[in-house]
Chains A and B, each alone.
Chain A
């Protein structure tokens, strides 16, 4: 009975959240309420993709570059996704129903706002980070993966992990690292914004 009451109470608590759709609150409980409200009840998820994709093929991306993608109505922050360039045509793909995989660059082209970050490191060090990322292909993707859990991965945790070995802490101190933390940490760490696309 206590379990049923807690379950119904919890669902009511999340269903009655009246925060703004595009601003994920910072507090843990408020964030959980916002996440379940817009993710479960409104079905927003990672946001809405634009119809006309950006032309990323023509850009001079390098292995190890970090791609941040933002869509409206993302339930966990402004930035919906972050990934790393593996080679000229591919990035590390992340999906709940597929795990970590090698994705074509075009998969990242549909975000409303795209930002490309390049850590201030020698090209060989960035390529080594891309190689470490490629070694994670086939690993499980889970949204509840903690930063220090060696078994499960999220998009942002992957970027944090492959650059941690270069003394870059891009987690922003978050236990469950989000793309927003990578974007914010990039403002303080030695990382350059090399390209930006908006629609």
Chain B
């Protein structure tokens, strides 16, 4: 092989044009998804750890809501992606809670058996909303607490809200 071409191929920017954007995009999507999930899990752990001081839980929740707006409007996060890639990130970010939240809703409607492990994962992934859950009226619908409906539908609502809010600043 021509030494000039071999040297050129050793540089990342010399990858085939059709491959390079795809690889970079996949890594970027993973990075954004992991970053958003890490922020949400950290906020949730903080809300639980600060349980003795519920006011501080509200502070963490408000900071997390500000992060949601930031994620939806920043060109470095969702707003910088085509709509289908942004949808992938929003779904990946909420994936564990989304799967078990949907399962919970199906269980509440009597279509499947409830899964304890699913409720546990959902509660941990969305622990950041505990201050909101605490404010939810203690009423029932179809024999299930209103807060449980809200907690289970939350991941889907959040993913949809992220997509609707998404616009570059």
Which residues of A are at the interface with B, using a C-beta cutoff of 8 A? 1, 3-4, 39-40, 43, 45-46, 95-99, 138-140, 142-146, 148-152
CB-defined A-B contacts under 8 Å, sample of 24? A3-B34, A4-B30, A39-B120, A40-B117, A43-B117, A96-B123, A97-B115, A98-B144, A99-B148, A138-B138, A138-B145, A139-B138, A142-B130, A143-B120, A143-B123, A144-B48, A144-B124, A146-B49, A149-B48, A150-B51, A150-B54, A151-B54, A151-B57, A152-B51
Contact across chains for A96 and B116 when beta carbons are under 8 A apart: yes
Closest B-chain residue to A100, C-beta based? B145
Which residues of B are at the interface with A, using a C-beta cutoff of 8 A? 30-31, 34-35, 37-38, 48-49, 51-52, 54, 57, 104, 107, 114-120, 123-124, 127, 130-131, 133-134, 138, 140, 144-145, 147-148
- Complex interface: chain B residues within 8 A of A150 (CB): 51, 54
- Complex interface: chain B residues within 8 A of A46 (CB): 116
Contact of A97 among B116, B124, B147 (CB under 8 A): B116
Closest A-chain residue to B57, C-beta based? A151
- Complex interface: chain A residues within 8 A of B48 (CB): 144, 146, 149
Closest A-chain residue to B34, C-beta based? A3
Contact across chains for A98 and B145 when beta carbons are under 8 A apart: yes
Known: A139-B138, A151-B54. A97 touches B104 (CB 8 A): yes
Number of A-B contacts (CB under 8 A): 75
Contact across chains for B117 and A3 when beta carbons are under 8 A apart: no
For the complex, give the distance between the alpha carbons of A9 and B140 in Å: 41
For the complex formed, measure the closest distance between the CB of A100 and the CB atoms of chain B, giving whole angstroms.
9
- Complex interface: chain B residues within 8 A of A138 (CB): 138, 140, 145
For the complex, give the distance between the alpha carbons of A3 and B41 in Å: 11
Contact across chains for B52 and A148 when beta carbons are under 8 A apart: yes
- Complex interface: chain A residues within 8 A of B117 (CB): 39-40, 43, 45
Closest A-chain residue to B133, C-beta based? A140
Closest B-chain residue to A43, C-beta based? B117
Contact across chains for B130 and A151 when beta carbons are under 8 A apart: yes
Contact across chains for A145 and B37 when beta carbons are under 8 A apart: no
- Complex interface: chain A residues within 8 A of B30 (CB): 4
Contact of B145 among A140, A148, A149 (CB under 8 A): A140
Contact across chains for B123 and A142 when beta carbons are under 8 A apart: yes
For the complex formed, measure the closest distance between the CB of B124 and the CB atoms of chain A, giving whole angstroms.
7
For the complex, give the distance between the alpha carbons of A26 and B156 in Å: 38
Known: A97-B119, A152-B130. A146 touches B52 (CB 8 A): yes
For the complex, give the distance between the alpha carbons of A144 and B57 in Å: 15
Contact of A151 among B31, B114, B134, B140 (CB under 8 A): B134
Contact of B133 among A1, A4, A98, A151 (CB under 8 A): A151
Contact across chains for B114 and A97 when beta carbons are under 8 A apart: yes
Contact across chains for B138 and A148 when beta carbons are under 8 A apart: no
Contact across chains for A3 and B35 when beta carbons are under 8 A apart: yes
Contact across chains for B38 and A3 when beta carbons are under 8 A apart: yes
For the complex, give the distance between the alpha carbons of A138 and B130 in Å: 15
Instruction: Taking A151-B57, A151-B134 as given, write out 5 further A-B residue pairs in contact, using a Cβ cutoff of 8 Å, ordered by the A residue number.
Output: A1-B34, A3-B34, A99-B148, A144-B48, A149-B51
Contact across chains for B127 and A99 when beta carbons are under 8 A apart: no
For the complex, give the distance between the alpha carbons of A151 and B138 in Å: 12
- Complex interface: chain B residues within 8 A of A146 (CB): 48-49, 51-52
